Structures are given as C-alpha cells and as structure tokens.
A = this chain, B = another copy of it.
C-alpha cells in the first residue's frame, strides 16, 4: 500500500472516475465554434512557417489546454446563470445537476493545470494561470456589475480576450518566436478576443433564437448591459434606469430591445468590433506571407459577419 502510493505519485498516474470524465467531456462534444484552439493553431502555424520550423507539440497541447479552461468556465457560468440550454442541447447543469457540474468544471481546471505543468515552460504556466485568474475576475465583474462603458470593456477583456491574448502569447513563446513576434501575437489574440465578444453581445440583440442555438436577448434577461444598450442610453436616457435595475421590471427587456433597435447602438457596436478586428489584422503586418497567415488575416472579418 505504501509502495503503491509512491508509484502512483512518482508515475503521475491519475485514475479517474468515468462519470466525472463524461460530464467534463459533455461540452467538448457540442458543435461549437472552437474559436480558441483554431486561433492558437493557426497562429502557431503561421509563426513556425515564418521561422522555417514545424508546429511544436507543445503548441498543439496549448490549444487543447485553452479549450479546457474555456469549457470549464462555460460549465461554471451555466451553473451561475442557471442556463437551461447550450448549443441547442440541455446545459450541463440541466443534464447533470449543479453539484456535478461545479465539480466537472473544477476537474477540467485541474486537468488543464496538469497538462500546463507538463509543457515544462515556467513563463507559459504563469501566463496561463494569470489568464485563468482574469477569466474568473471578468465573470465576477459581470455579476457584481457597474453600468459604465469602461467597466464593460474591461470586463470583456478579462472574460474573453485575456485567454486569447495570453494563449497567443504563449503559443509564440513555445514556438521560440522573437520578443517582437511574441508581442504581435499577444496584440492579435487580445483584439480578436475583444472583437469576438463584442459581436457576441451584438448577436444577442440581432440574432434569432434559432440562429443562436440559445434564447435571444438572454443578456438583458440576465440583467447584463452590453455595448448596444450602453450606446443606446446616450440617445434614450430612459434606458439608464432600466440598466440600473438590471431590466428587472416586467416589460423592461422588450422596451430596451425596442429602444436599442431605434438607436445607433447596433451600428456603433459593429464599428467598435470592426476597430478591434482592424487592430488584430494590423498586428499581423510583420508575419511572413503564408496560407495560414492569410487565414489569420481573414478570421476577424469572418467573425464580424457571423450569425451565431
């Protein structure tokens, strides 16, 4: 017994309960966009091509780690938001209950930590741990919420863009890129993350439930004020009281949607996302031309025009 435990620790064998793996894997099987691993892999490939080297195994592992961290945050967010569906299917909490879902999220974070440690790069481990901290702080800001536009942008960075910024930075570090390219990768990740999330916030106003695979106007129903309604408030000051009471009075959600539709909120939000997309594209200027570079360059535009 004494020996076996040392073998276990030394051999880093991690036996795992099958049901825990099943719940933790549940969101991986959903047909998602897989934006994060796609960005990390494309960026890694473009950087390696520029250096005349092959994609590193650690870069591929990093893409998986980032998707695990993201998935863990989805599982916990759905518990916190009491979400019932995710991509047309029951949410993890609806299917397995809150307890098992909280644990499955914890388990994914633990697995991501193990895989991260195995990459064997201290700078990367630390940067990704910071990204995880940002993600949680972003979710926290969302819940404790202020109604200020700067607060919204900071929350958006922490909750969505930080993981992509840190992830792209780490992909470049793992590939042995120059410091200049490491910084360029970071700027790309950050800005594509911001553009992506702002478009997501936009689709909550413009998309239909069928297109989104989740209820439309879910943000307003959750009491969240995102860019479209924050911009619309400048034209329709009556939105201010609704935003502050988190759209909690019956009729608030419908009325807010009407006012946003009448306002320049949608247009201005599209412009904001386009600005961040442009910054992402600008960050690629020193990359050597290659098919993956072209894909990276096209990606912000694709994200801007998506319908889900």
Binding site for B on A (CB under 8 A): 2, 5-6, 9, 12, 14, 16-17, 19-20, 76, 79-80, 98-100, 102-103, 105-107, 109-111, 113-114, 116-118, 120, 122, 125-127, 129-130, 132-137, 139-141, 143-144, 157, 165-166, 169, 183, 186-187, 190, 279
Contacts and interface: CB of A to CB of B under 8 A. Distances in A.
Contacts of A135: 110
Contacts of A103: 76, 80, 136, 139-140, 143
A189 to B, nearest CB: 10
A238 to B, nearest CB: 29
15 contacts: A6-B187, A14-B130, A17-B137, A17-B141, A19-B144, A20-B136, A80-B102, A106-B136, A107-B133, A109-B132, A110-B132, A113-B125, A116-B125, A120-B122, A125-B125
Contacts of A19: 140, 144
Contact of A114 (B80, B102, B129): B129
| Residue among A9, A12, A99 with the highest chain B CB neighbour number at 10 A | A9
A102 B104 CA distance: 13
B102 A102 contact: yes
A125 to B, nearest CB: 4
B14 A140 contact: no
Give chain A's interface secondary structure class.
Answer: helix
Nearest to A114: B129
A113 B130 CA distance: 8
- Chain copies in complex: 2
Contacts of A114: 126, 129-130, 133
A140 B102 contact: no
Contacts of A117: 122, 125-126, 129
B100 A129 contact: no
A31 to B, nearest CB: 26
Contacts of A140: 17, 19-20, 100, 103, 107
A107 B137 contact: yes
B107 A129 contact: no
A183 B133 contact: no
Contact of A129 (B9, B99, B113): B113
A9 B107 contact: no
